[in-house]
Structure 1
Amino acid sequence: MTDAESLVTRVRDGDLRLHELEEHADAETAATARRLYVEQEADVDLSVTGEYALDAEQASGSAIENMIGATQIPVGVAGPVEVAGGDADGEYLLPLATTEGALLASVNRGLSVIRSAGGASARVTKEGMTRAPVFRVDGVVEAAETVEWVRENVDALREAAESTTSHGELMDVTPYVVGDSVFLRFRYDTKDAMGMNMATIATEEAVGVVEAETPASLVALSGNMCTDKKPAAINAVEGRGRSVTADVEIPGEVVEERLHTTASAIAEANTRKNLVGSAKAGSLGFNAQAANVVAAAFLATGQDEAQVVEGANAITTVEERDGDLYASVSLASLEVGTVGGGTKLSTQSEALEVLGFAGGGDPPGSNARALAEVIAVGALAGELSLLAALASNHLASAHEDLGR
């Protein structure tokens, strides 16, 4: 009997629980045992799930619990494209992981057109990861007292929060009052980390100071004013993570030759679809398919995939300028990092190396900002390609031609 099989026997005998296996074997053996158990219980063959290049010890230590293997998602590459950004400056290949046929072809078409126009510009215009605890007070008088103290003592909160991290910096604290509830939205510069864990730990320390100095009592460390992994207008307005915009101006003849339509037709499609249609639908995202590129880039580079919810919070603008086409995409809350979390896994780290952004940047924060800028250009390419397909009535035929 192998070590993995003996672990399965102990689980069946009630001597061990599945989540305890790493305490009795190395991570690889624990994953194998857990996979054998699932195979027997579900009467399935998980041999392909058990074939992976990840370091099981690293994955189970930082990215997953109860590991049984890995799911493989095809990874393609889009580009290259010239990006003139605040931190990204040069030609880049963008790795994208997806199971949606035609996505890479669409993004590559858009990037090819952007390349023909001399590349795109991109800038991170605002950054800051947020955590917003909610407190209980007796009423509006205590709420006002708490808010006043917070506004006058941000330095004390900063000292407490920053005592938990050698990298994060508390940028500001914004109070909100709803009856006998007080929300404090802490915003941090997390450098090259996406920073959600950093912000949570730092805020917990600052909360102790608030409770000691005000009548407020903590109810929950997250009060949903952050807002994390949920559609929220506050992120669309105030931003979260990195707010980034990419734009390009494409000569009219390039639009006609490469996209088989006109600048005015694409502008009209964008206005009626992305702006008017989205407004009528009550959408928080005024774009064609930004989530497609954001999700694929997140999976490829080890970001928190649930934060695609905020990453798709984007507005696409298009206008005709004397026959030429101006297009931009502004992503209000793109939460990305190049250190920590899933970015440490081997394949995700390789994807970041393809971009040249693996690990911490010099200066700190520059790699994460550069990644945001390149993803924004990728999203812009996807917007251009889809809008052109719609404007020229080629969307269905493009999918049909690719056999999707």
Structure 2
Amino acid sequence: MTETTAEALADRVRAGELRLHELEEHAAADVATAARRLLVAETVDADVDVLGEYAFDAAAADANIENMIGAVQVPLGVAGPVAVDGDALSGDRYLPLATTEGALVASINRGCSVLNDAGGATARVTKRGMTRAPVFRVADVAAATALVEWVDDNISELRAAAEATTNHGELVDVTPYVVGNNVYLRFRYDTKDAMGMNMATIATGEACALIEAETDASLVALSGNLCSDKKPAAVNAVEGRGRSVSADVTIPREIVEERLHTTPAAIAEINTRKNLVGSAKAGSLGFNAHVANAVAAMFLATGQDEAQVVEGANAITTAETTPEGDLYCSVSLASLEVGTVGGGTRLPTQAAGLEILGVRGGGDPAGTNADALAEAIAVGALAGELSLLAALGSRHLSSAHADLGR
């Protein structure tokens, strides 16, 4: 590749010789990025030079972004360390949190401190499976029933077709849904340490080709929205997607009173009236205080697909007093879609976030690192829920924000 400058490259775009997305074919990635910045600066009244201040080679982001002009930097903090008792994650861990919301890290950090005083949090992944649900057109409901029966009778052939596309993914099951002359087949995969959306899509495409070759069904769309990806959906809240994970803790009454300045009974009542009844009245799919905050901050810090925070907020928080008068609190996230390989996890700063947790790359055995990440996020969500519920119980929410100047 002949060396060129950003200005020279921009001139070729101005002359109509090149289009924005072709620049990497004619110059190094960082030069192409700088050329686009020059072109954008010509048409906007804004200083875009600051977007060129980033710490990685633009070529490293080739699989993550198109028409790159720079990078947006988000402050990264840590909460903890917090004691975690998980199947895949154990010991004292710092939780990396990338956010621009003042007081969020402080709140989760306070929750982590209280979890430690109570002996730490327990976390477990209860279900795994990335889904893709194509929709087929058939003649009528009789043909729909026939297709469902064919799928049930040929699951081993579908599994072979799907798994031929991947070295790691495994087809767990296929669940049919019939709506008139529409048949939706919800394929569920164990994608190990990958979040697995692309893996599931490619594998399902091969299975769909087999279905069309062997039946009268016609594939309408490889995704029929019963997957369901990047949108609020009850199917994910009930059936799960990615990882279903729960975290809980029992906090002695004296710790609740001394550290959180409220009582177990007050926190339990707030949770019932706010997170459960209030959410039900609102028609919410998430019955929690602010789980999305912890999910989003840890997603950004570790290179996850930020749009899938939508599903990650499918969470239920519970709180109750024990017979001894202590506080039991839990958070269950139904559809947490995470991975420690592929996607944004390859970028250096996001890889560092995973390394803080000790979960970068593939696990041994496969899948354990993604499980560990899910457990860490669940513990962070639990700490955040506990801290916010306590702030409401002690009526310190507004004053805490005021004290922090945010």
SS of residue in 1 equivalent to 2:258? helix
Maintained 8 Å contact 2:184/2:226: yes
CA distance in structure 2 between the partners assigned to 1:351 and 1:237 by the alignment: 30
1:257-314 alpha-carbon deviations (Å, 9 max, x no partner) = 0000000000000000000000111100000000000000000000000000000000
Maintained 8 Å contact 2:248/2:328: yes
In the TM superposition, residue 340 of structure 1 has moved relative to its aligned partner by 0.1
SS of residue in 1 equivalent to 2:364? coil
1:24-62 alpha-carbon deviations (Å, 9 max, x no partner) = 1111111011111111121432121100012210102x1
Maintained 8 Å contact 1:55/1:346: no
1:139-190 alpha-carbon deviations (Å, 9 max, x no partner) = 1111111100001111100000000000000000000000111000000000
Partner of 1:164: 165
CA distance in structure 2 between the partners assigned to 1:172 and 1:88 by the alignment: 27
Partner of 2:245: 244
1:213-249 alpha-carbon deviations (Å, 9 max, x no partner) = 1111000000000000000000000000000000000
1:5-404 equivalences under 5 Å are 5-60=7-62, 62-321=63-322, 322-404=324-406
Maintained 8 Å contact 1:55/1:345: no
CA distance in structure 2 between the partners assigned to 1:54 and 1:379 by the alignment: 30
Cα-Cα RMSD: 0.9
CA distance in structure 1 between the partners assigned to 2:313 and 2:224 by the alignment: 22
CA distance in structure 1 between the partners assigned to 2:301 and 2:233 by the alignment: 25
Maintained 8 Å contact 2:193/2:366: yes
CA distance in structure 2 between the partners assigned to 1:173 and 1:189 by the alignment: 12
Maintained 8 Å contact 2:51/2:70: yes
The one-letter code sitting in structure 1 at the alignment partner of 2:312 is: G
CA distance in structure 2 between the partners assigned to 1:70 and 1:130 by the alignment: 31
Maintained 8 Å contact 1:146/1:214: yes
CA distance in structure 2 between the partners assigned to 1:334 and 1:264 by the alignment: 30
Maintained 8 Å contact 1:136/1:216: yes
CA distance in structure 2 between the partners assigned to 1:43 and 1:325 by the alignment: 55
1:83-117 alpha-carbon deviations (Å, 9 max, x no partner) = 10011111110100000000000000000000000
SS of residue in 2 equivalent to 1:29? helix
CA distance in structure 2 between the partners assigned to 1:370 and 1:43 by the alignment: 45
The one-letter code sitting in structure 2 at the alignment partner of 1:256 is: E
1:349-399 alpha-carbon deviations (Å, 9 max, x no partner) = 011001100000000000000000011000000000000001111111111
SS of residue in 2 equivalent to 1:291? helix
CA distance in structure 2 between the partners assigned to 1:289 and 1:42 by the alignment: 36
Identity %: 73
SS of residue in 1 equivalent to 2:126? strand
In the TM superposition, residue 121 of structure 1 has moved relative to its aligned partner by 0.4
CA distance in structure 1 between the partners assigned to 2:82 and 2:5 by the alignment: 50
SS of residue in 2 equivalent to 1:208? helix
**Which sits farther off after the overlay, 46-55 or 286-295?**
46-55
- Which 4+ runs in 1 deviate beyond 6 A? none
Maintained 8 Å contact 1:5/1:33: yes
The one-letter code sitting in structure 2 at the alignment partner of 1:268 is: E
The one-letter code sitting in structure 1 at the alignment partner of 2:133 is: A
Maintained 8 Å contact 2:36/2:68: yes
The one-letter code sitting in structure 2 at the alignment partner of 1:355 is: L
Maintained 8 Å contact 1:264/1:320: yes
CA distance in structure 1 between the partners assigned to 2:342 and 2:57 by the alignment: 15
In the TM superposition, residue 2 of structure 1 has moved relative to its aligned partner by 5.6
| Unaligned residue ranges in structure 1 (runs of 5+) | none
SS of residue in 1 equivalent to 2:50? coil
The one-letter code sitting in structure 1 at the alignment partner of 2:335 is: S
Maintained 8 Å contact 1:241/1:333: yes
CA distance in structure 1 between the partners assigned to 2:166 and 2:398 by the alignment: 51
CA distance in structure 2 between the partners assigned to 1:10 and 1:204 by the alignment: 40
| Unaligned residue ranges in structure 2 (runs of 5+) | none
1:5-32 alpha-carbon deviations (Å, 9 max, x no partner) = 1111111111111011111111111101
**Which sits farther off after the overlay, 23-32 or 124-133?**
23-32
